């Protein structure tokens, strides 16, 4: 007997070039998709690209971080969610991904662990290029 056909198509997963590293937690490099830690526009069922990447990084911080930081990670997420909401307030449902980058960079700095950091996709491409001896190229 065959399984019934799916009535809704699967949503393609878009790769995200993030690097969140912690020497003590190698699993942080894995992206956990589908996180929902947000307030604001997401509470209304709409998740902007900025909110999506914020959710991904904060899911990693909450579930995979194994470093020595004693910062209350849940409180950190709430604080920086407020900052993202402020940055995205002019267009909460369509806020572009790049608007989340400075917020995430500041959040990872506030974590207080020199081994954990955020890199933009461009910074990550440059890191990989320098580590492999390749030249960084911009891809669409």
113-131 residue pLDDT tens: 999 999 999 999 999 999 9
pLDDT at position 1 over 80: no
Q: Where are the alpha helices (DSSP H) in the chain?
A: 49-64, 73-87, 100-111, 121-132
pTM, entire model: 0.67
Q: 42 exposed, middle or buried (CB, 10 Å; 0-12, 13-18, 19+)?
A: buried
Which of helix, strand or coil describes residue 32? coil
Domain boundaries defined on the chain: 26-132
């Amino acid at each position: 007997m065959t399984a019934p056909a799916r009535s809704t198509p699967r949503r393609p997963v878009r790769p995200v070039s993030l690097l969140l590293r912690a020497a003590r937690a190698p699993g942080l490099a894995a992206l956990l998709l589908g996180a929902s830690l947000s307030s604001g526009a997401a509470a209304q069922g709409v998740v902007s690209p900025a909110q999506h990447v914020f959710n991904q990084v904060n899911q990693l911080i909450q579930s995979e971080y194994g470093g020595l930081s004693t910062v209350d990670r849940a409180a950190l997420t709430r604080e920086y969610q407020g900052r993202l909401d402020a940055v995205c307030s002019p267009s909460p449902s369509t806020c572009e991904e790049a608007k989340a980058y400075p917020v995430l960079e500041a959040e990872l700095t506030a974590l207080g662990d020199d081994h954990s950091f955020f890199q933009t996709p461009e910074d990550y491409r440059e890191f990989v290029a320098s580590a492999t001896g390749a030249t960084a190229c911009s891809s669409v």
